[in-house]
Amino acid sequence: MKVLAISGSLRAAAYNTALLRAAAELAPEGIEVELYDGLELLPAYNEEHDTDTPPAEVARLREAIAAADAVLFATPEYNGSMPGHVKQALDWASRPHRASALWGKPVAVVGASVTDYGAIWAQDHLRKGLGLAGARVLDEEFPVSKAPERFDADGVLVDLELRDRLAELMEQLADHSRQLTKAA
C-alpha cells in the first residue's frame, strides 16, 4: 500500500514534515510512505488555467494523489486556519468535481504547531475541505502541541505517547483504505 504524505510546512526543518517522516518510520509493514515535494511550486488556483493541460506542478500533484492508495496531510496553523498553499493544493486536487484525484480517496490529517493547540483548527478546516472535495476523511484528530518539546534537534519525534498514537493512526489509515477498496 502506498501513502502519499503532503506537508503543509515549506521550511526544510518543519515540524509537520518531521511528523510525516515519523509516520513513514512507524507505518505498519507493507505500507510505503512517499513524501510529496513541491507544494511551494503550485500556482494559485485559477479556473482559466484548469484545462486539459494544467500547469506542470498541478499535473504532478494530481498524478501523485491518484497513484496513491491513501493520502496523509500534515498542516501547520496560520492565523487559525490552514496555510494558503495547503488550500491551493486542495483546490487544484479537488477538480474536476466528482472525477478528481481526491474523489473517494482515503485521507487522514495531522498537524503540529508550537502553540498549545497543535494546529487543531487548521486540521478541522482541512478535513472539512477534503470532505467537500469528496475525499473519504478518517475522523481522527491528531494535534501535536508545543512541537519543540516533542521533537529533538534532528527532527525526530521523541514523545513516546505520540509515537504510539501515530503508529495507530497509520494502521487506521491503512484499514480505512482497505475497507473502502473492499466496498468498491
Return the CATH number at 12. Answer: 3.40.50.360
Pairing state of beta strands 106-112 and 70-74? parallel
Question: How many CA atoms lie within 13 Å of 161's alpha carbon, on the beta-carbon side?
Answer: 6
Using CA atoms, how far apart are residues 65 and 62, in angstroms rounded to an integer?
5
113 Cβ contact partners less than 8 Å away, ≥ 6 residues apart = 15, 76, 77, 119, 122, 143, 144, 145, 147
Domains of the chain: total: 1
Neighbours of 93 (CB within 10 A): 24
Q: To the nearest 10°, the Cα dihedral for 39, 45, 46, 47?
A: 110
Per-residue pLDDT tens for 126-178? 999 999 999 999 999 999 999 999 999 999 999 999 999 999 999 999 999 99
> What is the total residue count of the chain?
184
Per-residue pLDDT tens for 11-63? 989 999 999 999 999 999 999 999 999 999 999 999 999 999 999 999 999 99
Residue 82 structural domain:
2-183
- Run of H or E residues at 84: helix 84-93
